[in-house]
Structure 1
Amino acid sequence: MEEPPPKEESNAPGGAQNPSNLFGGVDSISSLPDEMLHHIFSFVPTKVAITTSVLSKRWRHVWCKTPYLSFPHHKSSLESIHETLASYTAPKIMRFHLYVDRETSEASERSHFFFSNSSLKQLIVDSWNYMSPKCTVSWTSLQNLSLRNSSLDESFTKVLSGSPMLESLTLQSCSLSCLDLSESPRLRRLDLEFFNSSPRKCHIVAPHIHYLRMIDFTQKYSLVDVSSLIEANIDTIYFLPRFWCTQDDPSKDPSKHDYHVMMQTMLEKLQNVENLTVGLSFLQMLSIAEYSGVHFPTFKVKTLTLKTTILRSAVLGIAKLLQNSPELKKIVFYKTEDWNCSVEKYVNRYMEPQDPQDLIFPAKSAFKVAKPDLVASFMELLLRNTRKLEKLVLQLRSCLNISNYDELSQIALTLSHKNKVSIVLK
């Protein structure tokens, strides 16, 4: 009996299996063009990509030309990074991911190479605390900047002044006292997420932005100048409505007056926005503001997106927002999860029903399945408080089963003809 031929030995290190073994002896991966292989390398650390060079002659130099470099772990020493860059031959780097600890930061600070780069277009930094530049920043091509988990000091001013082409700025869980973007004339998009509540007040000056996303803010953040704003996505920290409506009388608790001022100022800064997206917590804050006598300006909103669930605490805020948006043409309603319904009882306890019809809407635990009578009442609420509405889109998603869809479709058809509004169920 003839013995089978011996298996071909591979000198590939662990984790660098020959690609022919992955497809039953057919090396399908190696036949791909370099561009496709580079795209595959973009999903793994550069150290892993380098190990493929031992597979065959075909793979020997592929990693050297990939436009994506990633050194994500603290085990990537400066020596190994320099050695890798010495063998790197790609004409342009499209994405560079580097884990920075204090040692790496101090080394980069000495050479200044990181803060002087004329080709860098997008930068994402998690914890700027290690990256505060003491030198002049020159990122003359930087367009998109994202910072996370950082305490921003005066060094951030150097970043802004050294990034004249900056178009988009994202700050997540960053602590700062003032965000002055008046000297960034090309900046059009500002994305703010305040997962950490900063003890300091923050004033936001952004006269050139067209789009603002402001999520989980507190009463400590105020919009000073957003005069060019045309689109906004706004929602508060989920516990803020509860905190506000459990405060004492303003004469006894000055912080309650701070909420009034905060909401009054924010509403004034949003009055020229044409595309507005709001979440449940912000709608609850609007309800409290309306009940407390906060003045609502006239808005220029043409498209309003409601990312909420149908709850009584949001009804007053929605109605007031609609009534003060005379040019509104389109409403999009996205049914969201009920993750902050615990706030509902505090808000409803604080506010007495303004209209007997408010009692139609649930005070707790929104629907898992879209009940036709509840959705119909909600549609009527929206239609009753608008003047020039042309289209209403309801994104009920998994809450809409087949039987309820048929019934809601008939209701929507009736309301559509009656109000001369196009109603779409999704």
Structure 2
Amino acid sequence: MSVEPSEFMETTCVIQKPQKKQKLNEEEDIDGNSKCLGNLPDEVLRHIISFLPTSDAVRTSVLSRRWEYVWASIPHLDFARKSANRNLLMDFVDRALCLRDSSIMKRFSLSCDVLGDASRVYTWISTVVRRHNVQELHIKLRKVEGFAPLPYCLFTSNTLTSLHLDMSYILKVPTTICFSSLKILGIERVTFSNEYLTQQLFSGLPVLEELKLINCSWGNLKFVSISAPKLHSLSIFENELPDIDFEYFWSSSDFCQVMIVGDSLKEFYYNSYLICEYCLYNSFSLEKAEIDSEWQDDVSEQIALRMLNLLVGLFNVEQLTLSSLMIGVLMDAKGHLSQMPMFNNLMDLIFVGGLVYLDCPALFKILQKSPCLKTLNFCEGLLLSGYWKNDDWMLNPVPPCFLSHLKWIKVKWIEVDIFYGKDEDQLSAVKFFLKNAVVLDEIIITCSEHFEGNLETQLKFAKQLLELPRGSQNCKIILE
């Protein structure tokens, strides 16, 4: 929980000059014995007030002499500027760290504008790392112009288990880096500028399990390798589009190639404009992946190939979520779709973010390359494009999973219009699955709002579905 700046003035006064002590209320138990919260052991008291916002925890010092410095060893200190009163925050952090004892700190969280106080912020970080052996450090800094390199001790801490840096800042790191205990690392809005030192950073993470890179920039770097041996979860989000010249960035020689060695990787999350190329290697243990692209138009073949290369690294995934935009991006790689990998372990395939065209070559290729697929979920709708008018239309050859494994399909029935097509186009897509998925157990149609309250339309629609031919005699049609 964070400190509210509106509370700083009162809290600051408490630290500087404690108010008159007040006795805690006492109450008699059923045996007539006197009980008082203040009689509890220090460890219990610290645990109780650790659930309070930092400012409220400090205020407990006025309750009695017994409470005066209990707050000084609570495991969590959280400071956040949420109003214009920045100076009170800075003074409050100074005093809180000055009066705190030397006990180990579990978490220190700071969010503020640096402005002209770079040396103070530097000292705070150094203090919690060196003096208090902080275990979880969350730093969110804005207006960091002129900020010096982060303290050297931060990059060699043997107590940090979680670190999150959020700052519009060119990261400057020392030549020696070793986070011997760091399991969770989040880096946001940071620019990496030195190829050697950046490589040192991503090589000095021997026990890292979770890594998040959010709206970071690789600057002028050409190659980076992420090879943490115990990394289980990797998230890369680059969904804030920079002010760039697209024609310049479409040349592969001007991009950074990021190689991800995923020996232990189980989860991979990716949302990007594909400004750089990400390639996964040795991702044999991958269980879950979610891939999205922010591109909607002006996609070049080079961009499409980057997406295809990313999918190649997901060959062993068990559950895959793809955005409809990603399918659109792959349309421009149609001359290279033969490079689509075999997804031999893929059992669950989910499409989000918009409707999908069943006769899209990229979709068809993914289905053909997923022989063990058991479930399909089109969360935002499915259409067969108007180019196909023949009722006997069929993807040829039918994907192998349709004949042996595909048991469950869910489709959202959307309210179509002139841009998307007609209800018949959705019905044709459903017809294809019913006719060709010969081991299908269940297909669920999630109806949109235009069906509500119109019994006649619902009955007509249900009749149309029931009249469709089915390859599986055991298949149930369920309307939601």
Q: Would you call these one fold, judging by a TM-score over 0.5?
A: yes
Quickly say closer, same or farther: Cα 1:35–1:61, change in 2 above 3 A: same
Contact 1:189 1:212 in 2 (8 A): yes
Alignment correspondent of 1:204:
258
Alignment correspondent of 2:317:
273
Matched position secondary structure for 1:39: coil
1:87 to 95, 99, 105: 99
Offset at residue 206 of structure 1 (A):
1.6
Q: Give matches, 1:387-426, under 5 Å.
A: 401=452, 418=472, 420=474
Alpha-carbon separation, structure 1, partners of 2:168 and 2:99: 29
2:204 to 162, 173, 188: 162
Are 2:327 and 1:283 equivalent residues in the alignment? yes
Alpha-carbon separation, structure 2, partners of 1:197 and 1:161: 28
Alignment correspondent of 2:217:
175
Alpha-carbon separation, structure 2, partners of 1:187 and 1:386: 38
Contact 2:323 2:354 in 1 (8 A): no
Matched position secondary structure for 1:320: helix
Alignment correspondent of 2:292:
235
Alpha-carbon separation, structure 2, partners of 1:424 and 1:40: 49
Quickly say closer, same or farther: Cα 1:34–1:394, change in 2 above 3 A: farther
Alignment correspondent of 1:299:
343
Contact 2:239 2:272 in 1 (8 A): yes
Contact 2:256 2:276 in 1 (8 A): yes
Alignment correspondent of 1:5:
none
Offset at residue 265 of structure 1 (A):
2.2
2:235 to 191, 201, 206: 191
Alignment correspondent of 1:222:
278
Alignment correspondent of 1:353:
387
Q: Which shifted more, 296-305 or 379-388?
A: 379-388
Matched position secondary structure for 2:58: helix
Letter in 1 for 2:376: I
Matched position secondary structure for 2:52: helix
Alignment correspondent of 2:186:
146
Offset at residue 365 of structure 1 (A):
6.4
Contact 1:328 1:389 in 2 (8 A): no
Quickly say closer, same or farther: Cα 1:15–1:75, change in 2 above 3 A: closer
Alignment correspondent of 1:330:
375
Alignment correspondent of 2:139:
none
CA shift digits 1:280-306 (9 cap, x unpaired):
21122234444x563233322111121
Matched position secondary structure for 1:332: strand
Alpha-carbon separation, structure 2, partners of 1:396 and 1:120: 50
CA shift digits 1:322-361 (9 cap, x unpaired):
232111012234339xxxxxxx9xxx9xx99366679x99
Contact 2:255 2:277 in 1 (8 A): yes
Offset at residue 278 of structure 1 (A):
0.5
Quickly say closer, same or farther: Cα 1:193–1:273, change in 2 above 3 A: same
Alpha-carbon separation, structure 1, partners of 2:256 and 2:479: 41
Offset at residue 144 of structure 1 (A):
0.7
Pick the structure with more strand per residue.
2
Offset at residue 148 of structure 1 (A):
0.6
Quickly say closer, same or farther: Cα 1:220–1:112, change in 2 above 3 A: closer
* Gap regions ≥5 residues in structure 1: 1-11, 18-24, 245-255, 337-343
Letter in 2 for 1:70: D
| Structure of higher RCO (CA pairs closer than 8 Å, 6+ residues apart) | 1
Alignment correspondent of 2:108:
96
Quickly say closer, same or farther: Cα 1:284–1:260, change in 2 above 3 A: closer
Equivalenced residue count is 371
Offset at residue 312 of structure 1 (A):
4.2
Alpha-carbon separation, structure 2, partners of 1:264 and 1:305: 17
| Larger Cα-atom Rg | 2
Matched position secondary structure for 1:190: strand
Quickly say closer, same or farther: Cα 1:135–1:266, change in 2 above 3 A: closer
Quickly say closer, same or farther: Cα 1:144–1:312, change in 2 above 3 A: same
Alpha-carbon separation, structure 1, partners of 2:12 and 2:287: 51
Alpha-carbon separation, structure 2, partners of 1:33 and 1:382: 63
CA shift digits 1:70-100 (9 cap, x unpaired):
2334647877545423433585433221247
Contact 1:322 1:382 in 2 (8 A): no
Alpha-carbon separation, structure 1, partners of 2:479 and 2:66: 54
Offset at residue 412 of structure 1 (A):
7.8
RMSD: 4.7
Matched position secondary structure for 2:317: coil
Alpha-carbon separation, structure 2, partners of 1:201 and 1:37: 50
Letter in 1 for 2:99: S
Alignment correspondent of 1:118:
158
Alpha-carbon separation, structure 2, partners of 1:15 and 1:374: 67
Quickly say closer, same or farther: Cα 1:80–1:309, change in 2 above 3 A: closer
Alpha-carbon separation, structure 2, partners of 1:283 and 1:364: 22
Matched position secondary structure for 1:159: helix
Alpha-carbon separation, structure 1, partners of 2:237 and 2:150: 32
